Amino acid sequence: MGFSHPTVEIFAIGYELLLGEVVDTNTAWLCRLLTGLGGRVRRAALLPDDVEVIRSELEGALQRRPDLVFTTGGLGPTEDDRTLIAVALVTGRPLEEHPQALQMVAARYQALAAAGYVSSPELTPPRRKMALLPQGAVPLPNPVGAAPGVLLPLEHITIICLPGVPEEMKAIVQGALIPYLQSQFGKAGFAELRMLVDCGDESRLAPLLEEIQQQLPQVYIKSRARAFGPGVRLRIYLSAAASTPQEAQALVEEARRRLEEQLAKAGIASEILSRD
């Protein structure tokens, strides 16, 4: 039986992303993290703070049934933070004030008030809004901001909702969420390698890369061209996921060895830039 990659979909939510006011760095960061754990991101999209749009995309995800769905953004205290409303609608899990989430929010505002960053620790309605979670959800502590993350396990899928502020999102993932991710991904491994070749013509490389890809379909191989011209050197990216880190590394190294042989035969010099 071959290794089965846990599958993931990611939805970055916020009008500011679609207006170009804010660059979505969260999705790229999550893609690298989850791929490194052995997962496979199948879909990623930018969505507005529109309940019906978010609901429609989540309904599609439930039909496609990836193992995990991530959302970033829309968990804050303002009226246009609507992600959890859409999650509640699509899952049939109504929003409820979660006692543990409320404690997290209260503790955060007490600390902010003590530091003089807010005038009062009072749990106003907008602040209490951040403790409204879909029924059955687990709040994830946010050590940087006020809104907890949300872990909602369903029958065939788990929805994970994270804040849109990158520092908050990363802190939750690297703190409260990482044990859960490791339990879901097991000991799956990922390896990657970057090469630099003395060739400025990507079309000349294409048949060589295709041959290696056919020989080792478990390895992803991609050349990255930036420009034409004398002295241009192209980068080649190789990566693989497998049931263990050692197996993934072995696949990448074998692809590198075969590719270097083919490049040498074609009179193309190469060097290794990095291994991860």
Classified as helix, coil or strand, 242 is strand
DSSP state of 124: -
- Residues 196, 271 share a domain: yes
Cα-based distances in Å from 197 to 204, 240, 243, 255: 12, 20, 30, 15
Q: Is residue 198 situated within a structural domain?
A: yes
Q: Is residue 22 situated within a structural domain?
A: yes
| pLDDT for the residue 169 | 95
- Residues 63, 156 share a domain: yes
- Residues 71, 171 share a domain: yes
| pLDDT for the residue 225 | 74
pLDDT digits (tens, 9 = 90+) for 124-157: 999 999 999 999 999 999 999 999 999 999 999 9
Angle formed at CA 236 by CA 269 and CA 192, multiple of 5 degrees: 120
- Residues 259, 231 share a domain: yes
Q: Is residue 59 situated within a structural domain?
A: yes
- Residues 146, 17 share a domain: yes
- Residues 267, 200 share a domain: yes
Q: Is residue 39 situated within a structural domain?
A: yes
Q: Considering 143, 161, 185, which residue would you say is the last residue of a domain?
A: 185
- Residues 121, 162 share a domain: yes
Write out the two tokens for 136.
Answer: 């059955």
As a 3-state breakdown, the chain gives helix, strand, coil percent values, each rounded to 5, of 40, 25, 35
| pLDDT for the residue 187 | 65
Q: Considering 160, 185, 210, which residue would you say is the last residue of a domain?
A: 185
The DSSP H or E segment spanning 223 is: strand 219-224
Q: Are 121 and 109 in contact (CB under 8 A)?
A: yes
Cα-based distances in Å from 117 to 34, 71, 107, 124, 247: 35, 28, 14, 16, 50
Write out the two tokens for 208.
Answer: 């060589």
- Amino acid, res. 211: E
- Residues 193, 180 share a domain: no
Residue 217's domain is classified under what CATH number?
A: 3.30.70.360
- Residues 226, 110 share a domain: no
- Residues 146, 59 share a domain: yes
Classified as helix, coil or strand, 226 is coil
Q: Is residue 1 situated within a structural domain?
A: no
- Residues 263, 143 share a domain: no
- Residues 197, 159 share a domain: no
Q: Is residue 90 situated within a structural domain?
A: yes
Number of domains in the chain: 2
Classified as helix, coil or strand, 77 is coil
| pLDDT for the residue 1 | 39
Q: Considering 185, 207, 228, which residue would you say is the last residue of a domain?
A: 185
Q: Is residue 46 situated within a structural domain?
A: yes
Domain that holds residue 159: 7-185
Q: Is residue 178 situated within a structural domain?
A: yes
Q: Are 38 and 190 in contact (CB under 8 A)?
A: yes
Strand order from edge to edge, sheet including 219-224: 219-224, 234-242, 189-197, 270-275
Q: Are 48 and 82 in contact (CB under 8 A)?
A: no
202-215 vs 245-265: helix axis angle to the nearest 10?
130
Residue 80's domain is classified under what CATH number?
A: 3.40.980.10
For every one of its 276 residues, what pLDDT tens digit does the chain have, with 9 covering 90 and above? 355 678 999 999 999 999 999 999 999 999 988 987 878 899 999 999 999 999 999 999 999 999 999 999 999 999 999 999 999 999 999 999 999 999 999 999 999 999 999 999 999 999 999 999 999 999 999 999 999 999 999 999 999 999 999 999 999 998 999 889 888 887 667 788 999 998 878 888 999 999 999 999 988 898 887 666 666 788 999 988 777 778 888 999 999 999 999 999 999 999 998 776
What is the spatial distance between Cα 273 and Cα 84, in angstroms, rounded to a whole number?
43
